[in-house]
Amino acid sequence: MAAIPGRRFPRPWRSGEGLLVLPALLFYLAVYLYPLSRIAAWSLFERGFTLKFYRELLDEPMYFRALGNTLEISFLSTALCLLLGYPLAYLMATTSARARSALMVLVLIPFWTSILVRTFAWMVILGNNGMVNRTLMALGLTGAPVKLLFNMLGVQIGMVHVLLPFMVFPLFAVMSGIDPNILRVARSLGAAPRRAFRHVFLPLSLPGIAAGCVLVFLLAVGFYVTPALLGGPGQITLATMIEMQINTFLNWGFAASLGIVLLLVVGGIFAAFSTLLGIGRLTGEA
Q: How far is the CB of 198 from other proteins (least distance, A)?
A: 11
Name the one range near other proteins by CB under 8 A: 3-11, 63-71, 121-129, 273-281.
Answer: 3-11
Candidates 16-24, 63-71, 182-190, 233-241; binding stretch for other proteins (CB under 8 A): 182-190
Answer yes or no: are the C-beta atoms of 259 and 39 closer than 8 Å.
yes
The 199-238 site mask, x for binding other proteins (CB under 8 A), equals: xx--xx----------------------------------
Beta strands in the chain (DSSP E): none
Q: Measured between alpha carbons, how far is 96 from 141 in angstroms, rounded to an integer?
A: 39
Asked if 201 and 183 touch (Cβ cutoff 8 Å), the reply is: yes
Please give the size of the binding site for other proteins, defined by CB under 8 A.
24
149-160 as b/e: b if 16+ CB within 10 A:
bbebbbbbbbbb
Choose the stretch contacting other proteins; rule: CB under 8 A; options: 2-10, 140-148, 229-237, 262-270.
2-10
Binds other proteins by CB under 8 A, chosen from 15, 96, 188, 275: 188
Q: Which residues contact 151 (CB under 8 A, 6 or more apart)?
A: 231, 232, 234, 235
Q: How far apart, in whole angstroms, are the C-alpha atoms of residue 42 and residue 227?
A: 26
Q: Which of 10, 23, 190, 233 binds other proteins (CB under 8 A)?
A: 190
- Tell me how far apart the alpha carbons of residues 277 and 286 are, in angstroms, rounded to a whole number: 10
**Judged by CB under 8 A, which stretch of 1-9, 229-237, 241-249, 250-258 contacts other proteins?**
1-9
The footprint of other proteins (CB under 8 A) covers 1-5, 179, 181-182, 184-192, 195-196, 199-200, 203-204, 286
